[in-house]
Amino acid sequence: MKNIFTRGGIEIIAVFIGISGGLWSEKQLELNKTLESEHTALISIKKSLVSDSTSVHGIIKSIEKEQKNIDLFLQHISKDTILSVKKLNSIMWDILYFQYLVQDKSIYESQIKNAGKKIIQVDSVSAAISTVYDYIYKHLDNIFLMQKDMMSTKTMETFTEAGGYLDTKRFSISESLNRDQLLMFTNVFQDIKFISQVTFHYDTNFFIKNQYKRGLNILRHAIKSIDDYLSDKT
């Protein structure tokens, strides 16, 4: 009788261990899948963020170049320096057309935000990424609208209202167009509304550049958070 109970007890324990082991295996399998999804998502997100940070850095450099050109432009208007018609035409193009960040949120939204479960296991890394996509990119969207509506469009309006026009080939100006544009720029530079808008454009660019620099710092922080986390796991 004792042997029967002993044997039965062993069988119960074996069954219990088997069930527990099976449950542990399922949980481990699920964890492995989650970690694999996390790793895949982080690698994709990092690649996208690195690309965007390169673009933002280029935008900052473009704004700095534009500021130098507008400074020359204003010096020409105040007769502190003399620029060629070709250079004036080129500067106006730089003022009116600007670079902006083309955002790609598809990886973030499909693999992380709308995945239906928590993909990034460490809150600090998750927060760094979500700050970029849910806050910084929305903020830069508003900055783009400011550049388009309050700066580029408004500057173009005051330029054309003052009688201004641009060579469509931008850098290739015929002699006749050169003479015509010299007179045109002379007249435009006497328009107070246009000069005020260019000055506003110049001053606002300092704010715009600082917003992109702030965004770049947060992008780089997110990239570093991903790198540090992935390196700790290897």
189, 195 contact by CB (below 8 A): yes
Closest to 108 (Cα-Cα) out of 24, 217, 216, 226: 226
Model confidence at 51: pLDDT above 90: yes
What pTM was estimated for this model as a whole? Answer: 0.79
**pLDDT one-digit tens code per residue, 83-129:** 888 888 888 888 888 888 888 888 888 877 766 557 787 889 989 99
So what's the pLDDT on residue 8?
Answer: 54
Task: Put residue 118 in one of left, alpha, beta given phi > 0 → left and psi -120 to 50 → alpha.
Answer: beta
